[in-house]
Copies of this chain bind each other. A is one copy, B any other.
Amino acid sequence: MGKMYEVSNKYNNYKEYQREFTEVGRSIPRLDGPAKVTGKVQYTDDLVLPRMAYGKILRSPHAHANIKSIDYSEALKLDGVLAVITGEDCPIPYGIVPHNANEHALAVGKVRNWGEGVAAVAALDEATAEKALELIKVEYEVLEAIVDPREAVKRDDLRIHENHPNNIAYEGTQVYGDPEKALAESDFIIEKEFYSSYVNHGFIETQSAISDFDPNTGKLHMYATCQVPHYTHQQLAKVLEMPMNKIRITVPLIGGGFGGKGVASQADFCSALLSRKIGKPVKITYERSEVFATNNGRHPCYMKFKMGFDKDGKITAVDFNNLMDGGAYSGWGIVVLFYTASMVHIPYMVPNVKFDGKRVFTNKPTCGAHRGLGGVQPRFAMEQMLDEAAEHFGMSPYAIRKLNAVESGYTAKSMMYVPHSEYKKCLDEAVEKSGFLEKQGKLPYGKGIGISGGYYISGTSYTLYLSYKPHTVATIKIDEENGVTLFCGATDIGQGVDTVMAQMAAETLGVKTEDVKIIPRDTEISTFDLGTFASRLTFATGWAIRQAAEKINAELFPVAASILKCRGDEIAVKDGYFYSIYEREGKKGRNREVLWTDVVTMYIESNGPLTCSGQFTPPRRKGIQQGGNIGHSPTFGFSAQVAEVDIDLETGKVNVVKITEAGDCGQPINPMSVEGQVHGSIQMGLGQALYEEMQIAPDGRFLNPSLHDYKMPTIRDMPKIDANIVEAYDPSAPYGGKESGEGPIQPTAPAIFNAVYDAIGVRFTEMPLTPEKVLNAIKAQKAK
């Protein structure tokens, strides 16, 4: 039977028929869309379990302080209060990167940022829990707070973590080629400093967790807003000292993650600890201020660059010194630090690279994973320096990018391998669609146009702990009653992966997308998946789904062939039919057909159940593990953007009028969904470029922990967006498709900054570009 399928499979061969997709490539509205917009679905906070209690977390008003004592006796006396926990109840540290674990569910001995949790209460209702918080007396010994990482590295006398001299969380150096020599021999060198700001994701749904510990079975069932249920599962097991198989995590729909829900939250741990203490379910839902207090947003970076070019404008070397503000704890920090290093190597050929990086602790809410992590900061710098070099060489910013752009098959000095790139097409299309060449340098003062490129990983090679197991598993169950049911632990955080997975399964199986049922993620019911990060899902789950679906086909094809009374190599499946095909004089035609459901019935009647699993393990290349190449990914997505700005010369406000985007996501699985990702990326990039900044006072107090005071762009601030998908097909990807959710955030800020330069002739190096800064620059120009 296997052999028969090998032959028949020729007609489902993606190399031969790669463009002949039926379900892949369809702009299908999200399968869960109508239920979401009609309010039918339930997010975590919508759930109410029987006998459920409500938890609240008491948070520190100080950014740096020793906890001398906590007295919660009065709180416990309050009617309706069921339990109080403190750091004493959770002495075991956790962290998504296991060997850097230094976080606690509640502060142990010391608080290191404003808003750190110090105690938690469970009560019969939220109001009582809140009242109880006021009755908890915490005696603090307030310490000096350090909020600037440039200061922190100098203050070995004031260590935020005792075991980290000079407050350095991690540091590292990477050298590829001979950057020193290359710079010395360069025709033109730019040496410049940049700063990227302290921003939060701003997802709409705050973190929420309901823990339901059953004292009879010793099992914990948690419902949580969780991008990475697998890692949360691991860390809960560690902190609670319970075996993983006694913990189950169900992830309801998630209202946005962007990396911010890529760590276990204190709501997760505290609800679990409280539930175990009282033997009842406990729900904890964050206030917005708690989202800011626990942050996990983008790392501010103080970046020093030297970038060299030869006489033709080709990049010779990059020397990048990155001082990264980590905030109070480790989180994803080490990953982000080394991603910033990796991000230098692509999308332009850089033959010589030096990287010096430090991630430094400060008394601020911890920084972590944030859409396009590690990429946004160096891209902001490098894309502006490219423009500066283009000006020096008298080239257009477009030309210098084309000259240096990587192509399919490129291997970076860091051994990062690019199986496929249509980045040049992206540049071409963005330039053509925007009329960049006609406008750049030719617009009146105050109006400008700027270009930038970007790229991002599409998957990761790493599990964050030692393991060689598959990164994802998909199981497809076929039965007469339900048709196709797909089990996969991939977490839809609003990006639409459920729809995309259904499309991919439907494509290979030859059924309609709408007929594929996705079983929601749940660590017990679903199959294994690492989680939603590193833009890995379409690529990784795609392979697992395709493998599972091909195994199903291998079972069904012989049955179909026997019904259609033809040879195995004369058969194909599409649109809910198996059909026999003939080939005559080089032309193929469709012959007899049989319903897919009839073949399934026939198969099951004679063979019984039909369930197959597929898996994905990232490809490993010799030598690729060395040298700290944490940024390595199976493939990469690319994006080019042209921003047009119109600066209000009276106020300094930068109005972004239009952004023209052209992306290489390979074969788009769902073009409508790709466009949605592009719009979202641009919104987020725009926010960081112009508006957003978490403001921390010198003593570490958080000044704007609300969406009233933390300014995100709304629909009224959005430019016109022209999103384009360039023709592309990545042969290393399961259906030719790769990421589109993180690459497109990279170019937005530098494109805007380059447009501002085009408008008023001033280069800015710090985000966000507030009206004040622009106005001051304009005034300074006039003063000259």
Contact = CB atoms under 8 A, between A and B. Distances in A.
A500 to B, nearest CB: 17
Given A214-B40, A604-B469, A525 B609 contact: no
A528 B244 contact: no
Nearest to A617: B608
Interface string A5-17: 0000000000000
Interface stretch (A143-151, A352-360, A516-524, A646-654): A516-524
Contacts of A754: none
Interface in A576-634: 604-606, 608-609, 611, 613, 615, 617
A244 to B, nearest CB: 5
A482 B489 CA distance: 13
A470 B46 CA distance: 40
Contacts of A35: 214, 216-217
Nearest to A38: B216
A85 to B, nearest CB: 22
B485 A528 contact: no
A473 B609 contact: yes
A562 to B, nearest CB: 16
A604 to B, nearest CB: 5
B604 A609 contact: no
A339 B77 CA distance: 65
Contacts of A31: 217
B482 A244 contact: yes
Interface string A58-71: 00000000000000
Nearest to A218: B514
A409 interface: no
Contacts of A483: 245
A606 B473 contact: no
A633 to B, nearest CB: 20
A234 B517 CA distance: 18
A394 interface: no
Contacts of A217: 31, 34-35, 514
A527 B604 CA distance: 13
A299 B726 CA distance: 71
Q: Determine which residue in A480, A524, A617 has the highest number of CB atoms from chain B within 10 A of its CB, and name it.
A: A524
Contacts of A480: 244, 469, 528
A417 to B, nearest CB: 24
A35 B215 CA distance: 9
A431 to B, nearest CB: 41
A162 interface: no
A40 B216 CA distance: 10
Nearest to A611: B613
Contact of A468 (B214, B482, B606, B617): B606
A545 to B, nearest CB: 13
Contacts of A39: 50-51
A515 interface: yes
Contacts of A205: none
A144 B172 CA distance: 95
A767 B467 CA distance: 68
A609 B613 contact: yes
Contacts of A475: 477, 609, 611
Nearest to A46: B50
A526 to B, nearest CB: 10
Interface string A453-479: 000000000000001111001010101
A36 to B, nearest CB: 10
A42 B38 contact: no
A233 B483 CA distance: 13
A479 B528 contact: yes
B528 A517 contact: no
Given A523-B482, A524-B517, A609 B605 contact: no
Contact of A608 (B38, B469, B519): B469
A438 interface: no
A110 interface: no
A467 B605 contact: yes
A230 interface: yes
A645 B613 CA distance: 61
B524 A485 contact: yes
A524 B481 CA distance: 9
Given A244-B481, A475-B611, 4 more contacts: A40-B50, A470-B609, A473-B609, A475-B477
7 contacts: A40-B214, A42-B50, A217-B514, A482-B523, A519-B524, A608-B613, A609-B613
